[in-house]
Structure formats: C-alpha cells, structure tokens
Amino acid sequence: MSRFRGLLQASLNATKKALTWNVEDLVPPTERYIFNFNSKDELKKWHLYSDSEYGGLSSASLEIPDTGNGPNGIFSGNLSLDFIEGSKLKINRSGFCGMRSKKFDGFIDLDPYDTVALKVRGDGRCYISTIPLARYLPTWRGNVIDAEMEMNPSRVVGMSLSVNAEGGLPGARVGPGDFKLEIDWIKALRTQ
C-alpha cells in the first residue's frame, strides 16, 4: 500500500508542477547572450570569409587569446585591393573580410527583443552589423544589398560582421591595410 501511495504522490507532484507556471517562464529576460567569446569552442560557431575566395588577396582570422584578461575574441586580418593575376574567378572589387556564424540549430528566436548589442573595441574602421532589429539590412561582401527584404526576427538563422577597405562612415579609417576588432559578446536586448 505504501508503494501505491508513493506512486500516487509522485504523480500528483508531477501534475502540480506541470500545471503551475511562473511569470518568468512567460516573459523572456531583458537580455540574452547570442555569442559570448569566452572559450575556444566559440570559434567553432563562426566561418571566416574574404575576397580571397574570389581571387582577391585579403585575409582574416578569429582568435581567442590565451591571456585570460583583456578582449575575449579578436577578428583581425589584412584588407588588400589587389587581385591574383590569372584568377579564374572574376570580381569587380576586392578589399573585404567577414565572419559569419554557422547556422544555428534550426533558428534563434529574437522576436521578444528589439536590439542586438555588441561589446567591441574597434580600430577606427567601419564594421557592418546593423543594430536595431527593425532596421537590419541584408548585406553581401561588405555592402548593403538594395533589396526590399523583410527580416523575420523569430527565425534568425545566422549573423555576420564584415569590414571593407572602401566606404563607411565619414571619418572612418579606409583603404588597404590591417584591421582588428576586439569582441567580448553579442546580445539581444529588450529596451522598450
């Protein structure tokens, strides 16, 4: 009989737990880490690209220093406006590098949030990653695509950061040469 009471009590406790809910379960937190550059495993979540895939000479790397203090992730490299002579692939311009997240397991739901924040330290160059989710724009090879595409924030499949040697905001460092962006984290925020 005590075994039956034990099973009945366990069943009642499980049912009670399933039927009770907490407000925190319904309202997501005001911030959510998307990427936290605090371990070498984080590097596996990213794919680097550059104009070198198309015959250019730019290069990029993403590292997490072993020092344990200072910046967590470092996206760096060299932007070149030159091309490989005789390349089979033809591109109109060179001088771009980027880091693109590998696809999430399915997608990430950012619908409860209105902003993506990045804790970074730059080098004076203009890096591309539009911040307010309502204003996210599609980009290709470091340039905004002039397309009427609407992003669905509840089904985000990836993110990227890019830099190019030409263009950017007035006063930003431009031209070929080295670049370096220190990255601590990328979060989704609810500011309203």
Domain definitions of the chain by residue range = 2-189
Q: How far is CA 175 from CA 6, 50, 80, in A?
A: 74, 15, 8
Dig out the tokens for 53 from the structure.
Answer: 């895939």
pLDDT at 68: 64
What confidence score (pLDDT) does residue 99 get?
94
Residue whose C-alpha is closest to residue 78's, from 97, 92, 93? 97
Burial class (CB in 10 A: 0-12, 13-18, 19+), 133: middle
pLDDT of 153 strictly over 70:
yes
Buried (b) or exposed (e) across 1-25, using 16+ Cβ within 10 A? Answer: eeeeeeeeeeeeeeeeeeeeeeeee
pLDDT for res 14: 65
Residue 46 predicted with pLDDT over 60? yes
Residue 179, pLDDT above cutoff 90: yes
The predicted structure's pLDDT at residue 28: 73
Return the pLDDT at 132: 55
Is 24 or 104 the better-scoring residue by pLDDT?
104
Q: Is the dihedral of CA 54, 55, 58, 60 positive or negative?
A: positive
Instruction: Give the pLDDT score at 15.
Output: 65
Q: Are 163 and 49 in contact (CB under 8 A)?
A: no
pLDDT at 85: 77
Give the length of the chain: 192
What is the per-residue pLDDT across 72-117, written as a single tens digit (0 to 9) for each?
Answer: 899 999 999 988 877 666 667 789 999 998 877 778 888 888 888 8
Q: How confident is the model at residue 191 (pLDDT cuts 50, 70, 90)?
A: confident
Asked if 178 and 80 count as a contact pair (C-beta separation under 8 A), the reply is no
CA distance 120 to 59: 20
According to DSSP, the β-strands at 160-164 and 127-128 are antiparallel
In this predicted structure, the answer to whether residue 158 has a pLDDT above a threshold of 90 is no
Query: Containing H/E element for 135?
Result: none
Q: Report the pLDDT value the prediction gives residue 80, as an integer from 0 to 100.
A: 94
